[in-house]
Amino acid sequence: MLWFLVDQLFHLLAIIAVVGITDHIPFDWRTKFAQLLANPNILVVTLAYIFVIWPSMIIINLATKRWQNLMNDGVGPGLPNAGKWIGILERVLVLTFVLTAQFQAIVFLIAVKSILRISVKSEDHARLLSEYVLIGTFISFTFAILTGLFVRLFL
């Protein structure tokens, strides 16, 4: 994973270098980029999205680690990393909904997840799985909502 990120960073730096050398862009992209970086609101929102994607994912993973091992023992194979991607997407959506004051959309998202949980009731470890998903969901939503409310206070 680390090598992939380093590789992507070098790709980005190469693209920036080529654009800087050729400089055939009709507007001064460096000035526009500097203006974006100078805007504190854009920086705060960007940092909020970064936080709900990576650091909160690590914290949620650590908080649910003891139950992950239990889930791996009793439940058959699922999609690799599906829970991670679902969590990232739900936190991004919830943060976006909070920042745009669309709180009713958060309720809709919770309702959709609840309906999906009902369809799992036929599995052997349905209660265990449901409780595990609920814990992860509530932690995930809490991070996204609190981050969004904090950003709204700043803006």
Packing angle of the helix pair 126-154, 103-118 (nearest 10 deg): 170
The residue type of 24 is H
pLDDT tens for the 155 residues of the chain, in order? 677 777 888 888 888 777 777 666 556 767 777 787 788 898 899 999 999 999 999 999 899 988 887 776 555 566 778 888 989 999 999 999 999 999 999 998 888 877 766 655 555 567 777 788 888 899 999 999 999 999 999 88
CA distance 32 to 29: 5
Q: How many residues does the chain have?
A: 155
pTM (predicted TM-score): 0.73
Q: How many helices (H) and strands (E) does the chain have?
A: 8, 0
